[in-house]
Amino acid sequence: MITLLCTQNITFCQDILPDEIIIDYSAIDKPLREVIFDLSVEADITIAFQDEIVPGDSLINFSVRTQPIGLVLDYLLSRHAVKYKIIGSQIVLYKDPYARSSSTLTISGYITDQENGESLVSANIYSYDKINGTNSNIYGFYSFTIPKGSQRLYYSYLGYNTRILDVELKNDTVINVQLDPNIILKEIVITDNRIINDNTQERDIANVEILSIDKIESFVTVGGEVDVLRMAYTKSGITSGSDGFGGMSVRGGSTNQNLILFDGVPVYNANHLFGLYSIFNSHVVKSAKVYKGAFPANYSGRLSSVLDVRTREGNMKEFGGEVAISLFAAKVALEGPIIKDRASYLFTARRSILDPFVNTLVAFQNPVGQESDTDLKFSDINLKVNFKLTDNSRLLFSHYTGKDVFNNKVTRNDSTRTIKNIDQLNWDSGNKLTSLKWNWRISQKLFVNTTVYRSQYQYLSFDLDRTNLLFPDGSLDLTNYTAGHYDARIVDQAIKIDFDLFPTSKQHEVSFDGAHIVFGGTRI
């Protein structure tokens, strides 16, 4: 016999969940079947079950206030090895044959954006009771060890609809999940609970700051150019130098004690225009984290902090682009599939538009008859190509080239035109970052990423100050020279292998470097 408790139907889709239907209910010596009927009326839902799976002689004594209907059902049914599924517009109760089993299984897979195929970093995966859970890594991979049998899994990410999967787990399983973006955020309810259990109280990790991409896009910066580094300066314990152009200082540390990573490649100068902008084009940034202390051991080589910036892979579904002009810079971006759902690319280019205004202003300030040639500009290019070789492995190629130019040529004459000063300054600097990554899911619990990269920073400067003493007829009498040359380069080449191991059912994650071979050099 099947019992249907029918009331007003509510469709359980991705934005209406059992955890969102809050009820108040109490029962004293009531049969379990009658309690389930009361709950269906209280929550305005339909509950279906067979009489033989719900004991008729089970009496319930309990009281709940402002609790989700899903949690209440789990509490009442777990002792009878009964679970529920969401099917269409109703909740269906069923007997779980694996409820008494102590065996565990592992599920793993990738979590991606449904619209463009981008991997989602630090997405949440958790069980129905929200006791066990895990997160996806920087490539969207996750591994989750849970009990064998019927399980309800929740997949969530900020700005996306939560997805619920009811699965029957008999063996280790691969589950790849695509989440649907949703720009409408759910309401946040703040309640006062003065009795706090210190063992369960959630503690904030003060040493890690996650820079939200949505906040970065809306953050107002100098000249209207969105900037990740400027957003980091707003966090507690992080300051910039004098007048905001001196680099990043974290908790009193020196600016050269920070490790800055761009797609896992170390960056030795992350600034444009003396620190006015950073090298990170906001269109390519997918995630950014700042570790202000006690950072993981796999981030080695610095004392003060770590800024880890990861870039997008490009849209695997459709072509798109963007053209933007701010007060100081102009940029263009193109992305799209090379092979739909298998390979994609992302290309961006940016250049400052400040130099024409600076040159015009300097020429206007100089008197007639004096020459001036002042350039102050920067440019950078990002290219990323993503190949999905198999369902378990990917190949990613990324390249960045950036350059800053400061060219100053000035010719000065005194009022008698007997002294002619020539001041020439050429200053060029820039980064070149190239990496090739191969990540591979070896097993349900082991994820390996191999990276080959090359990071180069070059600073080239030339200074010339020449003074000519002229005769009244304009001929040369005496010349005085002051010249200089400075060339500094840092080259960092390495092969790096990273392992992510998920060893136990307690959702511990072990990350370590299997090998990190560095070939580097510095020339001054």
Q: Per-residue pLDDT for 9 more than 50?
A: no
DSSP 42-53: HHT-EEEEEGGG
Minimum mean pLDDT range among 266-280, 349-363, 441-455, 477-491: 477-491
Rounded distance, CA 450 to CA 494, Å? 11
Which pLDDT score, from 0 to 100, does residue 403 have? 92
Distance CA 281, CA 213 (A): 12
Q: Are 269 and 197 in contact (CB under 8 A)?
A: no
Helix orientation angle between 69-77 and 32-43, rounded to the nearest 10 degrees: 170
Phi, psi of 523 (to 5 degrees): -130, 130
Residue 253's alpha-carbon distances to 207, 246, 259, 293, in angstroms, are: 14, 13, 12, 11
Which amino acid makes up residue 499?
A: F
pLDDT in tens, 393-425: 999 999 999 999 887 776 666 555 555 566 677
Distance CA(490)–CA(455), nearest Å, equals 8
pLDDT at 98: 73
Tell me: the pLDDT tens digits for 125-172? 988 767 778 889 889 999 988 888 778 888 999 888 888 888 888 888
Pick from 349, 414, 408, 346: nearest CA to 376: 408
Is the CB of residue 136 less than 8 Å from the CB of residue 146? no
Cα angle 325, 330, 331 (rounded to 5 degrees) comes to 105
Lowest mean pLDDT among 253-257, 344-348, 401-405: 253-257
DSSP 172: -
For the chain, the average pLDDT equals 79
215 vs 288: CA distance, rounded Å: 12
pLDDT score of 390 more than 80: yes
pLDDT at 212: 73
Phi, psi of 365 (to 5 degrees): -75, -25
Q: Tell me the average pLDDT across 51-79.
A: 83
Residue 163 makes CB contacts below 8 A (sequence gap 6+) with 14, 154, 155, 156, 177, 179, 180
Q: What is the pLDDT of residue 261?
A: 93
215: tokens are 């906040």
- How much is the pLDDT for 333? 94
Q: What is the pTM of this model?
A: 0.75
Residue 272 has pLDDT above 90, yes or no: no
Rounded-to-integer distance, Cα 148 and Cα 203, Å: 31
Neighbours of 265 (CB within 10 A): 21
DSSP string, 301-341: S-SSEEEEEEE----SSS-EEEEEE-SSEEEEEEEEEEETT
* CB distance 235 to 206 below 8 Å: no
CA atoms within 13 A on the CB side of 298: 15
**What gap in Å lies between CA 231 and CA 234, rounded to an integer?**
6
- Checking if the pLDDT of 507 tops 80, the result is no
Cα–Cα distance between 46 and 92 in angstroms, integer?
A: 8
Higher pLDDT, 359 or 316: 316
What domains are there in the chain, each with its CATH number? 2-95 (3.55.50.30), 104-179 (2.60.40.1120), 208-523 (no CATH)
| Contact between 387 and 394 (Cβ < 8 Å) | yes
Nearest to 308 by CA among 228, 245, 384: 228
218-229 mean pLDDT: 71
- Residue 180 is given by DSSP the state P
* Three-state secondary structure call for residue 115: coil
Q: Could you give the percent of the chain with pLDDT greater than 90?
A: 21
Per DSSP, 246 falls in state S
Give the residue, 450 or 3, on which the prediction is more confident.
Answer: 450
Cα separation values, 84 from 9, 13, 69, 100, Å: 17, 16, 11, 16
Q: Comparing 47-61, 337-351, 377-391, which segment has the lowest mean pLDDT?
A: 47-61
State in Å, rounded, how far the first CA of the chain is from the last one. Answer: 86
Q: What is the DSSP letter of 90?
A: E
List CB contacts of 59: < 8 A, sequence separation 6 or more: 29, 30, 31, 32
d(CA 176, CA 125) in angstroms, rounded, equals 12
Contact 289, 209 (CB under 8 A): yes
Q: What is the pLDDT of residues 35-58, one digit of tens each?
A: 888 888 888 888 888 888 888 788
Confidence band for 185, pLDDT divided at 50, 70 and 90: low
Query: Tell me, what DSSP letter sits at residue 454?
Result: E
